[in-house]
DNA sequence: TCAATACATCGATGGCTATCGAAATGAGGC
DNA sequence: GCCTCATTTCGATAGCCATCGATGTATTGA
């Protein structure tokens, strides 16, 4: 995947005319959300007790191989939807709600 | 594409634990938005003078072939994001804002 | 009835991506 | 310096999807 940082780029889709580059950026951003494994990763991490989770505890619930989970975590982090913090040999992830808000705002109505 | 009707299915991603089927439905819905041509179609139609546009006036601005535009219009209509009305030999499309809202709500924060 | 226009469908193709096993990287502990 | 464990990266594969040309269908007007 084309892991590009999600940024506010434009008026909401329905209230302003969307240029070609803006449409491509937005489409890339939605592409990150267009996978059930990534949506569940976001959900699991956002609802974790301390708002964070270790990668080691994410493989089980998702029923995917460890490399696959790592792949999706890296896409989410690359888009800025997750932060990654290394503590010893474990990697801990947190959701960045502001990034989700950017996408939500793109769907605002006039 | 798996053109499935977009429906409110679940708690927002970040405030409730997302089950497997709900995650798949949501991912399918975001997949519809994850294409620059479809985003520009939504934008063009939503910002048209009367809130509607004829398919014949959409091919030009998009710089895609007529079959390709027709393909994307059918995916958007299948997802319920557009309505299609046939008038004589022309097909007119309108945005259904409530469907967009369903996706926006899925991105609400706790 | 015929030609022209608008749009959808079909079939094929090229590119992208999710997935996995295997190998590499890197951090702790002994 | 080794060994182990967590994680990432690599290479390969299978399936999906955007795209287009060609064709089919329907409507309008001459």
From the CA of B66, how many Å to the C1' of C2? 25
Nucleotide nearest to B77 (CA to C1'): C8
Q: Model confidence over A48-102: pLDDT tens digits?
A: 999 999 999 999 999 999 999 999 999 999 999 999 999 989 999 999 999 999 9
Q: With a 7 Å cutoff on the CB, does B56 touch strand D? A: no
- B45 Cα to chain A: minimum distance (Å): 8
Q: With a 7 Å cutoff on the CB, does A66 touch strand D? A: yes
- A92 Cα to chain B: minimum distance (Å): 17
Distance CA B73, CA B11 (A): 29
Sheet holding B82-87, edge to edge: B52-54, B90-95, B82-87
Distance CA B33, CA A27 (A): 6
Residue B19 has pLDDT above 90, yes or no: yes
Q: Mark A66-82 as b/e (b = at least 16 C-beta within 10 Å).
A: eeebeebbebbbbbbbb
Q: With a 7 Å cutoff on the CB, does A68 touch strand C? A: yes
Q: Model confidence over B35-53: pLDDT tens digits?
A: 999 999 999 999 999 999 9
Average pLDDT on B74-98 reads: 96
Mean pLDDT taken over chain B:
94
CB contact under 8 A, B97 and A23: no
Q: What was the pLDDT predicted at B110?
A: 66
């Amino acid at each position: 995947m084309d892991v590009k940082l999600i940024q506010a780029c434009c008026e909401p889709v329905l209230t302003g005319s969307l240029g070609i580059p803006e449409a491509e950026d937005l489409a890339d951003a939605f592409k990150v959300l267009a996978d059930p494994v990534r949506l569940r990763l976001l959900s699991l991490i956002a609802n974790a007790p301390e708002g964070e989770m270790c990668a080691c505890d994410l493989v089980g619930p998702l029923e995917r191989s460890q490399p696959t989970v790592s792949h999706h975590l890296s896409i989410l982090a690359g888009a800025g939807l997750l932060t990654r913090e290394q503590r010893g040999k474990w990697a801990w992830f947190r959701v960045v709600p502001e990034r989700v808000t950017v996408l939500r705002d793109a769907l605002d109505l006039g």
